[in-house]
């Protein structure tokens, strides 16, 4: 993980106890879930997508769109909730996004999304929880 200290920190044992093995692989080891494998890909209700590691609100459902990629995609995160870093893994340069509160890997952001931002936050569904609007 990054050397940066985040507001929510846990030991490796605490992360393993909190997360499922798949969540741990994605969120703490920068893994990727299989496309189309997460139920949140199909979530269409009004509400908020939060970090599975610390419950920080990350994305509002009104900014979710169908990208055809197999992962939940959003135009823009909740302000201040996501930070980006350069990811040079797998022989390419991408922009990784992670939770600003706990540092957990969420996915990547690409410049090929719809207006108004033109961004596509391509997020691993296992890194998210969903809270329906009241």
Structure tokens at 10: 């846990």
Residue 3 contacts by C-beta under 8 Å, 6 or more apart in sequence? none
What are the two backbone dihedrals, phi and then psi, of residue 119, each rounded to the nearest 5 degrees? -105, 150
Q: Considering the candidates 38, 54, 99, 122, report the single residue annotated as catalytic.
A: 122
User: How far apart, in whole angstroms, are the C-alpha atoms of residue 128 and residue 102?
Assistant: 13
Q: Is 122 a catalytic residue?
A: yes
Q: In Å, how far from its chain's centre is CA 125?
A: 7
Question: First and final CA of the chain: distance in angstroms?
Answer: 35
Structure tokens at 34: 């299989």
Active-site annotation, residues: 122
């Amino acid at each position: 993980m990054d050397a940066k200290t985040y507001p929510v920190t846990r030991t490796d044992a605490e992360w393993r106890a909190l997360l499922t093995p798949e969540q741990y692989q994605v969120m703490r080891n920068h893994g990727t879930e299989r496309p189309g494998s997460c139920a949140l890909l199909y979530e269409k209700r009004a509400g908020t997508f939060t970090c599975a590691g610390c419950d920080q609100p990350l994305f509002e459902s009104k900014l979710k769109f169908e990208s055809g990629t197999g992962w939940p995609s959003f135009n823009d995160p909740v302000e201040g909730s996501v930070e980006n870093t350069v990811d040079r893994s797998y022989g390419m340069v991408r922009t990784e996004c992670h939770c600003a509160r706990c540092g957990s890997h969420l996915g990547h952001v690409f410049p090929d999304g719809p207006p108004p931002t033109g961004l596509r936050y391509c997020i691993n569904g296992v890194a998210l929880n969903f809270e329906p609007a009241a």
